[in-house]
Amino acid sequence: MVTIIYFARLREALGMSSERLALPQGVRDLDSLRAVLTARGGAWASELAGSKPVRAAVNQDMAQGDTRIVDGDEIAFFPPVTGG
């Protein structure tokens, strides 16, 4: 099981702030997890599509698509933040 946390517009669009998910077989990195979530369709597909700017962190460390994930990890998805 992993814990997935959604922030900002993702939380609003997906209607949840977090969930626990058993990692499907073959899901070993962020890109494959994002593909599983996108396959849910609807808001999942539009908000997590590869063309949308979405950042991720694994166990509170910024991560890239090829970052490995394992049972027990905490994964956060959030839109990029700008400021000045």
Query: Which residues in the chain land under pLDDT 50?
Result: none
Burial of 25 (0-12, 13-18, 19+ CB in 10 A): exposed
**Domain range summary for the chain, segments of one domain joined by +:** 2-78
- Predicted confidence (pLDDT) per residue in 40-49, tens digit: 999 999 999 8
- What proportion of the chain, given as a percentage, has pLDDT over 70? 96
What's the CATH number for 2-78?
3.10.20.30
